[in-house]
Every structure is written in structure tokens, then in C-alpha cells.
Amino acid sequence: MTTITGGVTAPKGFRAAGLHCGVKDNFTAPQPEKKDLAMVLSSVPCAAAGTYTRNVVKADPVLLTMEHLADGKAQGVILDSGNANACAPKGMENAKRMADAAAKATGLQPKDFAVCSTGIIGVEINIEAIEKGIPPLAAALSDSAQSSEDAALAIMTTDTRKKEIAVTAEIGGKVVTLGAIAKGSGMIHPNMGTMLCVVTTDCAIDAALLQTMLREVVSKTFNRVTVDGDTSTNDTCVVLANGLAENEPITGPGPDYDIFYEALRAVLEYEAKMIAGDGEGAGRLVTCTVRGAASEDKAEVMAKAVVRSPLVKCAMFGADANWGRVLCAIGYSGADFDPADVEVRFQSDAGELLVCENGQGVVFDEDVALKVLSAKEIVILVTLHEGDASCSCWGCDLTYDYVKINGDYRS
Amino acid sequence: MTTITGGVTAPKGFRAAGLHCGVKDNFTAPQPEKKDLAMVLSSVPCAAAGTYTRNVVKADPVLLTMEHLADGKAQGVILDSGNANACAPKGMENAKRMADAAAKATGLQPKDFAVCSTGIIGVEINIEAIEKGIPPLAAALSDSAQSSEDAALAIMTTDTRKKEIAVTAEIGGKVVTLGAIAKGSGMIHPNMGTMLCVVTTDCAIDAALLQTMLREVVSKTFNRVTVDGDTSTNDTCVVLANGLAENEPITGPGPDYDIFYEALRAVLEYEAKMIAGDGEGAGRLVTCTVRGAASEDKAEVMAKAVVRSPLVKCAMFGADANWGRVLCAIGYSGADFDPADVEVRFQSDAGELLVCENGQGVVFDEDVALKVLSAKEIVILVTLHEGDASCSCWGCDLTYDYVKINGDYRS
């Protein structure tokens, strides 16, 4: 597997576009320079799979996309940023109008489209702006790397950087390409962060198999990210596979399945880490790895509790080797373990520091601790000494800017 | 039931004291003005009950107290603030030395004492300072209101105010008194908030019954508070009942049981709300009440998710009527419900505001919203229209000061 430049337009037969249509204008000062409408389109029908927020309160575009992809087929995705179209008046009507407009502009059917929205909740979306923006959006579709970047920029809210990746792998003698764009942890106004991801690939793969694989990979990537513990109403990850790489279609377990699985996992892990490190107000990417556990599930529960803990997150902001909070978090995670077996280390590019052994503190050099924890990427390594399983989860520090972004916009 | 002035010394036969011995000196600038050692003592043996942190990582004083109170008997509590004696070298040895010193100074046995500690984790406690402080502490024991206040002050860490209450109730023709001191959500150095509560009463009640009652009342009071979702290693709530009110001992269900239950509930609810409103960095007490639910358990799960949500907490800090985050939180709480049935209101001394009806936003006056949400105590009222059950949980806003207290002490 090789990482290449580009994003969703890297695989054969995919075009994309992103532009400003005005959805973002309603709730902030007009931002004509901020793109807010994107499309990704395959030249031929695709096997399609999707995973969606587990929140009981699902935005209407999520419900519509679930319906459209239920048969495992789709050809494109239409996305806006600025309004989540969740708990909003005329929500389903407007989500359908987005799909209708996308279909009309491309000569396809509404059900060929997944619809994704991210932004403010509870406010009617400016559907007129979207309907006006879709024909020029369709006209701008191109297979250039710039087009993928335009789409990646057009789905950002408070994201500070685009989240694009492309990889290639060889499957049955053919070069297969995967590309993705994602956004995470953003809001443009009083709102919650949402996470969206579109993956394109020219791999030929059975739709039902792709759905099963996507669910498993998401559980090991996006579902291991937490910025603040708040699961949004709009989270969506869609994969479109158009088969143009002409590989022998993947229809079950085997080497081809394994190679594609690993490529998809790498793509989603990259996007997951990008989202964690670009969490609202974040200064550092914080990874917690729990190893030596009796099972991966248990390691995951413990690692997730650590990266979610506000106290751990504040300590990471302060570059403070406060390992007591790590022990506290694994202690209330719900997993059972013997505290006397626990070892904790902090790691970064700047070095490694042992802070807790056999469940008790060890003396360490505070200057080294400050150096290790002042890096942009920190790993909290917890070792249990009870088995061979391990798991990493990703989060970020809790900063003044998180509070500012989410609380202070009225001042 | 009547609320009276005073605290743990209000019931007959209880004395208390609090002073500075030096536990707090190790990790901050010496604070000779800050009390850090407290004792509460009954003149006669008591029926005793306790509830303890559910964290797998339990501090040694918690383990020792569980052992001492296992027979339902105790006579006093010795407490320090500044060091939690958790994950610390010589933890159990030093917890025992605290009980030994308390016993020696009062002519009792070590197992007559509950031991509570709160403060930094993973660092050896200054047991010499405590052993030196206990004789003068015992000498200072008194049944005055001032003594209870001294003890209440001596268990504070970053708490900004003492948390004391006393109530009386008539049981079987006798006046029974309950008093309590508590601390919550504090740290004096890199550390987690911990919650301690000591309740005294002169009511005569069977120890096993008291234990059952305490567990139930704690589940409806302290367990409905969240400041940051981090359950500490040291949480302890101890009740001592010495029987000096000379009521007919309460040994089972009946009117006496109900009256005492209600008095204990009122005392612990008061302390719970005091802890929530004095959460680290908190500017406002935030109550979420879910009503019209199919069951109290369900209402509790939903209300707790709302007061725990960092996004809701930031919105409360910003006095922002961001009800979409409330819907999001109940949506991922784990409870099942129909979003289309949900109504959300914000309430405070300054008024009431309907913001969401039938699961969708309603137009409201932003000026009124700002007024309602600028109060010191906010209620988020969620109505489900599916049953008669309700539950309130308590928390606070998420402020710059929370991040400062927990992340910024090294700068």
C-alpha cells in the first residue's frame, strides 16, 4: 500500500467540486470566500456502503441517505456545510430537494445520491441557495486534485485544515486506488461538531461485503476518536466503489479482501487522527494506547476513557505529567483490572517518560516531562500485564479555545 | 423537617474540630492559614454506614474505611485535605497510622474511625505532620457551630465555599437532628476533584437499615451530580448515627423510616447541589430535569447526559440558548425515545423560555434568552410526553477557569 497525493478524485472515474453558495451566510457575517457546497460523483454506478450516527436524534439527511443506500447502490454525494438540517423545520423536505437538485443537474435519480449536512442545528436550511448552487457545482465537476481539495474545503466548518488522503494497493494484479475527504469537530455558530467522511475507490467489491467491512473498520477508527464525548446528529461515512480498476470483484474473504481492508483501514485511521488532532480548540493530538490487556474490547474501553477525560485533556493542555488522572480514568472506565499491575508512560518525538509502575508513582524529572509533553503529538501508553491485546484511541487536549469556540461567541 | 443553622455538631453528642497541620504545605506555597486536618467524633458508639467510589482504583483510606465500617459500627471520622493518599507509596500503612493516631488521641480503637483523604494522587502523604496534628485536633474537639465550620473548612481543596447543613425532624415524638459537611470538585495541585461527605445524626436507627437507606439516597443525590464525568478514587460518604435523640430505634419500613429517609435525602441533595454549583471553575449551577418519562431510570440517564455534555456546559457558560446540544445529548444518552415528542425549556429566576417543541426549534427572543441564562442557577427542563416519571441531575458550566485550574498551573 502506498500513500499518494490527492483525495476523492484519485480513483478512476471520480470527479468532485466545491464552491460557495450561501448556506454559511445566514448565521455569521457573509463569507463569500468560504466554500459550503460540495459534490462527489462517479461516472458509473457504484457499490455503496454507509455508517451513520448512533444518536437517537438523527438529522433528516442521515435518514434519507440510509434510505437511498439501503440497496447497496449509489453514484454520488451532495454535501453542505453551515447548516446540519437537524431538528429543523422542513428537514426531510429540504434534504429531498438537495438530492432532487443534484439528480437534475447530473441526469441521475435522486436515490443515486447520499446527502450530508453539517452545521447549525434546529434552523431551517437555506435550500434556495443550495438549489441555485448545484447547477454551477455540477458544471465544475472535474477529476483534478484541485477539485477534491475544493470539496474537502467546502465541507469544513470550524475545522482548521482539510482532511484528504489517497492510497493505492495492488489487488489481483491491478492497481486499486482509494481516496477520501473528511471533516470533524466543527461549528460555525452555536452548534455541535459533526463528522463526515466520503471515501471513493475504483476497486470492484460486492456491496454487502463492503458494508460489513466498513462497519468493522469504522469501529476501529472513527469510533475510537473523541473530542468531547458528544456524538453528533449528523455523523456519516459513505464509501462509493465503482469497479473501474477492473480487478476481479472481491466477493468474500481472501488475500484481496485483506489488502482492501488494510487500505480502507489506513485511510479511515488517517482521517480519524486528523479529526482528533483538529478537534475544536485542540493544540495537540493525544493518543492513548492500552496494551497487555486481556482483550481488545477491554483495551478500547480503557483507552477511550483516558482520551475522553476532561482532567486528562486539561493536563495535556498544561503539558503536565499528571498520570494520577490516567489511573483514575481507566479505573472508572468500566473495565476490571488489577491497579497494582499498571504501568504508565508518556511518549512523544521528544522522548519517553515512565511515571507509574506497579500502580504507584515513580520519581521522574519534571524538566523531561515538560519536554516530552510539549510536543504536538503525545502518546499515553498504559501497560496492564494481563494479556496480549492492545488498542489505541485518539483525542486532543482541552484548551481555552475549546471553551471560547463553544461558549464565548456572544461576548 | 426544618433546616437549622450548624453542621455536624448540631446533633446531640457530636463534636468536631479542624486545623492546619501541614499536609497542604508540600505541593504549594506553605499555607499556614489553610486548614487541612479535621475530626468528627461521637461521645458514644454509632451505627455507621458508608458509600464509596466505584472507581476500580480506590485510595487506601477508602479501602480501610470499608473494612472498619463493615460491621456497621464506628464512632468518628478523621480527614485530611491536600493529599488523597491514592496510588501513593506506603498508602495503606499511612492510612492505618492516621486511624491509630486518632484512636490514641481519643482513647478509642483504630477501627472506630473512618479515614478520608482528598488531594494530590500518587505522592506519599506527610504522615508525620498528621500524627503531630492529631493530638491538638482532639484537644480542640467541641460541639460548637464554629467547630463544625472549622472541620468543613479543613476538608476543602479548591472548593470556594464550605458545604454545611443541619436539619431537624420529629420522629416518634422526639426531635431528631441531622448534620453534614462535604467537599467537592477540588484540587490543590495536579489532581482530580474528589467528593467527601460526613453526616452525623442523633437518630436511633439500625445499622444495616441505615446502610441500605444511604445507598438508595446517594443514588438519588450525589450520584446525580457531575462536574466533569471523572469519578475520583476517594469519594466517600459516611453516616454516623449515635441514637442520643432517644427515639424508638428505626428498624424497618414505616412512618419513622420515611421521615428519616426524607431528612437524609434533603441533607444529601443540599450537599450534592452545593458540590455541583461549586464545581471547579463553575459560574453557574445547571440542573437538568427530564419529566414525562416512562421511568425514573430513563429520565436519569438522559438528564445526566445533558449536565455532563461539554458542549451544553460551554453553552451555559456563554449564556447561549443552544438547545440543539440538549437534544443531541439526550439522543446519545443511551435512552430510547421519540425525538418528535420532545419539548425543551430554559428556566431561571429571570424567567422561562420555550426553545423546542415537537422536536423542532421554535422562534424565541434572544434578549429574553440571554436574560434567563445569565442567572446563577439554570434549569434545563426536558419534557418527553411518554409517562409520569421524572429526574433531576446537577452540574455546572464549563469555563476558562476549569481549564486554567486543571491545565495551566505550570505556566
* Per-residue model confidence as pLDDT tens digits over B236-277: 888 999 999 999 999 999 999 999 999 999 998 898 888 888
* Per-residue model confidence as pLDDT tens digits over A310-361: 889 999 999 999 898 899 889 888 899 999 999 999 999 999 999 999 998 8
Question: Does A164 score more than 90 pLDDT?
Answer: yes
Nearest CA in chain A to B340: A87
Residues 235-294 of chain B with CB under 8 A from chain A are: none
Q: Please check whether residue A370 is in contact with residue A201, taking contact to mean a CB–CB distance below 8 angstroms.
A: no
Domain range for A322: 285-407
Please report, for the domain that includes residue A244, its CATH number: 3.60.70.12
Residue A409 is classified by DSSP as T
Contacts of B26 (CB under 8 A, 6+ apart): B82, B83, B123, B126
pLDDT at site B32: 64
CB distance B56–A335 less than 8 Å? Answer: yes
Tell me the pLDDT band of A409, cut-offs 50, 70 and 90.
very low
Please identify, among B245, B277, B309, the residue that sits at the C-terminal boundary of a domain: B277
For residues B75 and B117, membership in a common domain is answered with yes
- Report the SS3 class of residue B266: helix
Q: How far is CA B230 from CA A287, A302, A314, A319, B191, in A?
A: 19, 13, 12, 19, 11
Question: Does A31 score more than 80 pLDDT?
Answer: no
pLDDT at site B193: 41
pLDDT at site A26: 65
For residues A117 and A204, membership in a common domain is answered with yes
Chain A residues touching residue B293 (CB < 8 angstroms): none
DSSP notation for B87-116: S-TTHHHHHHHHHHHHHHHHTS-GGGEEEE
Query: Which three cell numbers, joined as nine digits, stand for B405?
Result: 485550574
- What is the rounded CA–CA span in Å between residue B336 and residue B109? 52
For residues B301 and B204, membership in a common domain is answered with no
Question: Does A185 score more than 70 pLDDT?
Answer: no
Three-state SS string across B112-152, please? HEEEEEEEECCCCCCHHHHHHHHHHHHHCCECCHHHHHHHH
- What is the rounded CA–CA span in Å between residue B162 and residue B340? 43
Distance from CA of A335 to the nearest CA of B (A): 8
For residues A125 and A224, membership in a common domain is answered with yes
- Report the SS3 class of residue B401: helix
ipTM above 0.85? no
Query: Which three cell numbers, joined as nine digits, stand for A143?
Result: 477529476
Q: Minimal CA–CA distance to A151: which of A229, A67, A76, A210? A: A76
- What is the rounded CA–CA span in Å between residue B166 and residue B144? 13
For residues B346 and B378, membership in a common domain is answered with yes
Q: Minimal CA–CA distance to B69: which of B285, B253, B241, B264? A: B241
For residues B88 and B188, membership in a common domain is answered with yes
Chain B residues touching residue A233 (CB < 8 angstroms): 324, 327-328, 331
- What is the rounded CA–CA span in Å between residue B359 and residue B213? 38
Tell me, yes or no, if A371 comes closer than 8 A to chain B by beta carbon.
no
Q: Please check whether residue B337 is in contact with residue B347, taking contact to mean a CB–CB distance below 8 angstroms.
A: no
For residues A260 and A301, membership in a common domain is answered with no
For residues A194 and A298, membership in a common domain is answered with no
Size of interface A-B (CB pairs under 8 A): 226
Average pLDDT, chain A: 89
For residues B212 and B98, membership in a common domain is answered with yes
Question: Does A63 score more than 50 pLDDT?
Answer: yes
Q: How many CA atoms lie within 13 A of B267 on its CB side?
A: 36
Please report, for the domain that includes residue B311, its CATH number: 3.10.20.340
Tell me the pLDDT band of A168, cut-offs 50, 70 and 90.
very high
Please identify, among B215, B242, B277, the residue that sits at the C-terminal boundary of a domain: B277
CB distance A361–B87 less than 8 Å? Answer: yes
β-pairing, B285-293 vs B377-383, is parallel
For residues B267 and B365, membership in a common domain is answered with no
For residues A339 and A221, membership in a common domain is answered with no
Q: Which residues of A are catalytic?
A: 194
Residue A383 is classified by DSSP as E
pTM value > 0.90: no
For residues A196 and A249, membership in a common domain is answered with yes
pLDDT at site B29: 53
Chain A residues touching residue B400 (CB < 8 angstroms): 400, 403-404
Residue found by looking up cell 473495565 in the block: A335
Tell me the pLDDT band of A190, cut-offs 50, 70 and 90.
very low
* Per-residue model confidence as pLDDT tens digits over A77-102: 999 998 999 888 999 999 999 999 99
Query: Which three cell numbers, joined as nine digits, stand for A6?
Result: 490527492
Q: What is the pLDDT along chain B (411 residues), one digit of tens a residue?
A: 899 999 999 999 999 999 999 998 865 555 667 999 999 999 999 999 988 887 778 889 999 999 999 999 999 999 999 898 988 899 999 999 999 999 999 999 999 999 999 888 888 999 999 999 999 999 999 999 999 999 999 998 878 889 999 999 999 999 999 999 988 864 322 233 457 888 999 999 999 999 999 988 888 888 887 766 666 677 888 899 999 999 999 999 999 999 999 999 999 889 888 888 888 888 899 999 999 999 999 999 999 999 988 889 999 999 999 898 899 889 888 899 999 999 999 999 999 999 999 998 898 999 999 999 999 999 999 999 999 999 999 989 988 888 887 775 433
Please identify, among B226, B254, B277, the residue that sits at the C-terminal boundary of a domain: B277
Chosen for mutation from A27, A57, A83, A313 (greatest number of chain B CBs closer than 10 Å) is: A57
- What is the rounded CA–CA span in Å between residue B234 and residue B320? 34
Per the structure, the count of domains in chain A is: 2
